């Protein structure tokens, strides 16, 4: 097969994973999860298996439908027929012994049963922690993509907001956003959330026929996909004359958001970051009303590691993306969440979201 020498932005992560496979004294590791395969190769394919062996060239197994796409997007990859790792026969690769094989413990049981046929003598070991740790640190190439996705999301928000009118329903407002995302990007990274008034007290309210009267607050949680990477942001339309309670809650959520952004830096745990916002909101009397975690990583998937949640021990590293999204929810009354996407840097964090808050 013809293989061109071109720049491979995933080479470093794939090499780091191969080093982990060697370090764990595995004879091979098989990666099936679509996002994991993509994070190691750049190839988005829903029927693939990446076989990684220490000091051997990795093999990208897929079926004939995807071979042209793999050769085009990742010409450095050796391609094999996926039947070899998905059938009933043991995999034969020269004299390779597969005594210890890394696998993803999150796979279905049915898939695991086929793996046992492909590697009949193998002992299996979970490599999800290694894959997750590598994927959670974005490469400069990936950070550039996140920046572009967030920039577009900011633009779409500002344009959509200008089109919102009193009398529109949540569904209509969400549709405006969705259409812009399809026109300018690769569509929604997740279903856009638009909450009018008290609907914002439900964190993941599904837009419905609720009509905006133009005076109530509106909460919008949205993320466009671009270049294969997601974005995620929550903003609120604050009414000209908000209630005193809304004003107070908004100011507290904004301060929790700003405090967490100011605190975010490498070396601290994701749990410590969550605690910065949580301690502040608890001291302000709204600890229980902040019922979810502070944030999550964003990348190929909208929700991925690291998890900025209570007691999370993951240590933040430069290159990790994480949302900062404290919220206060008062059922039957109001809800406010302010969400920004940041990337941890050498000495703090870079706030990617630029929409006014
Ligand atoms: Zn969000
Ligand atoms: Zn989020």
Q: Which ligand is nearest to the CA of 223?
A: 1
Q: What is the pLDDT along the chain (357 residues), one digit of tens a residue?
A: 444 455 788 999 999 999 999 999 999 999 999 999 999 999 999 999 999 999 889 999 999 999 999 999 899 999 999 999 987 889 988 888 899 999 999 999 999 999 999 999 999 999 999 999 999 999 999 999 999 999 999 999 999 999 999 999 999 999 999 999 999 999 999 999 999 999 999 987 999 999 999 999 999 999 999 999 999 999 999 999 999 999 999 999 999 999 999 999 999 999 999 999 999 999 999 999 999 999 999 999 999 999 999 999 999 999 999 999 999 999 999 999 999 999 999 999 999 999 999
Q: Which ligand is nearest to the CA of 337?
A: 1
Cα 332 from Cα 322, distance rounded (Å)? 30
249-263 in b/e form (b: 16+ CB < 10 A) is bbebbebbbbbbbeb
Bridge partners (DSSP) of residue 218 are: 196, 237
What spacing in Å lies between the alpha carbon of 38 and ligand 1's midpoint? 23
CATH architecture assignment, domain 140-351: Alpha-Beta Complex (3.90)
SS3 for 160-210 is HHHHCCCCCEHHHHHHHHHHHHHHHCCCECCCCEEEEHHHHHCCCCCCCCC
Sheet holding 193-196: strands in order across? 193-196, 218-222, 233-237
Cα 175 from Cα 131, distance rounded (Å)? 36
The closest alpha carbon to 62, from 94, 38, 84, belongs to 84
Cα 289 from Cα 252, distance rounded (Å)? 12
Domain 11-136 CATH assignment equals 3.40.350.10: yes
Q: Which ligand is nearest to the CA of 153?
A: 1
What spacing in Å lies between the alpha carbon of 54 and ligand 1's midpoint? 39
Q: Is 19 helix (H, G, I), strand (E, B) or coil?
A: helix
**What residues does each domain of the chain span?**
11-136, 140-351
Q: Which ligand is nearest to the CA of 298?
A: 2
Structure-token pair, residue 3? 């293989």
What spacing in Å lies between the alpha carbon of 191 and ligand 1's midpoint? 10
What spacing in Å lies between the alpha carbon of 213 and ligand 2's midpoint? 27
Structure-token pair, residue 121? 């003598």
Contact, 217 vs 339, CB < 8 A? no
What spacing in Å lies between the alpha carbon of 273 and ligand 2's midpoint? 15
What spacing in Å lies between the alpha carbon of 192 and ligand 2's midpoint? 11
What spacing in Å lies between the alpha carbon of 223 and ligand 1's midpoint? 7
What spacing in Å lies between the alpha carbon of 225 and ligand 1's midpoint? 13
pTM over 0.85: yes
What spacing in Å lies between the alpha carbon of 44 and ligand 2's midpoint? 23
């Amino acid at each position: 097969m013809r293989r061109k020498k071109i720049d491979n932005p995933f080479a470093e992560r794939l090499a780091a994973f191969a080093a982990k496979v060697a370090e764990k004294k595995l004879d091979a590791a098989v990666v099936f999860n679509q996002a994991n395969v993509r994070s190691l190769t750049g190839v988005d394919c829903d029927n693939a298996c990446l076989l990684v062996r220490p000091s051997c060239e990795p093999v990208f197994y897929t079926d004939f439908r995807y071979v042209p796409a793999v050769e085009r997007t990742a010409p450095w990859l050796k391609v094999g027929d996926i039947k070899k790792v998905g059938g009933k026969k043991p995999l034969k690769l020269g004299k390779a012994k597969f005594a210890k094989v890394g696998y993803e413990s999150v796979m279905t049981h049915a898939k695991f049963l086929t793996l046992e046929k492909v590697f009949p003598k193998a002992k299996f070991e979970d490599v999800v922690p290694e894959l997750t740790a590598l994927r959670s640190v974005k490469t400069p190439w990936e950070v550039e993509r996140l920046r572009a996705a967030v920039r577009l999301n900011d633009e779409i928000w500002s344009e959509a907001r200008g089109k919102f009118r009193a009398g529109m329903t949540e569904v209509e407002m969400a549709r405006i956003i969705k259409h812009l995302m399809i026109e300018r990007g690769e569509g929604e990274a997740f279903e856009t959330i638009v909450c009018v008034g008290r609907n914002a007290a439900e964190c993941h309210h599904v837009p419905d026929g609720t009509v905006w009267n133009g005076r109530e607050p509106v909460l919008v949680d949205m993320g466009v996909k671009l270049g294969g990477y997601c974005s995620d942001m929550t903003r609120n339309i604050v009414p000209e004359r908000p209630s005193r309670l809304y004003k107070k809650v908004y100011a507290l959520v904004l301060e929790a958001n700003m405090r967490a952004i100011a605190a975010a830096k490498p070396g601290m745990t994701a749990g410590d970051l969550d605690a910065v916002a949580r301690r502040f909101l608890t001291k302000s009397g709204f600890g229980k009303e902040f019922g979810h975690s502070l944030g999550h990583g964003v990348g190929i998937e909208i929700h991925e590691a690291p998890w900025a949640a209570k007691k999370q021990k993951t240590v933040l590293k430069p290159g990790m993306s994480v949302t900062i999204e404290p919220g206060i929810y008062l059922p039957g009354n109001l809800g406010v969440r302010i969400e920004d996407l940041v990337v941890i840097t050498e000495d703090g964090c870079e706030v990617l979201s630029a929409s006014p808050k």
